[in-house]
Amino acid sequence: MGLDAFVNCNCFWEGKTTGPPVPRELIQIDGDGWWSLKTDWREWGEQEWKLEEWIETACEHERMRVVDEWVCNISGKAHFLSALQRAGIEHFPILWGEFPQANGGQLSPENAARALDELRFLRERADLGVRH
């Protein structure tokens, strides 16, 4: 089990992709940040496969993502959350409160900016104690 993070590009919304294989109005980004169809998943059928294939090469960004990074495994996640606790979770309302506990999840642009500030604080000013 691992944690990955990605940021979708805006090419679809800016009209910079090749023509999609399904009507544009059926394409969305779901609650977890994945490109999908707006219709009920039981109705996807062949359309979903066509959409998946199209996403691979629809624009200059691989899989229509500006950033796509592996972050850590489950052990790394535990170490990170432990570090937040040692430094005081009150300093990390976004990192602590929004850290994925299961598959899925996403941060708003505002919370992503706050999370970066919290990471900066963790790296530069947090007291993590001494480990022996």
Please give the C-alpha separations between residue 66 and each of 39, 78, 110, 117, 132, in angstroms, as whole numbers. Answer: 26, 27, 18, 21, 40
> Does position 62 have pLDDT exceeding 90, yes or no?
yes
- Which neighbouring-strand residues pair with 98? none
User: pLDDT for 94-117, tens place per residue?
Assistant: 999 998 877 778 888 899 999 999
Of all residues in the chain, the percent with pLDDT exceeding 70 is 93
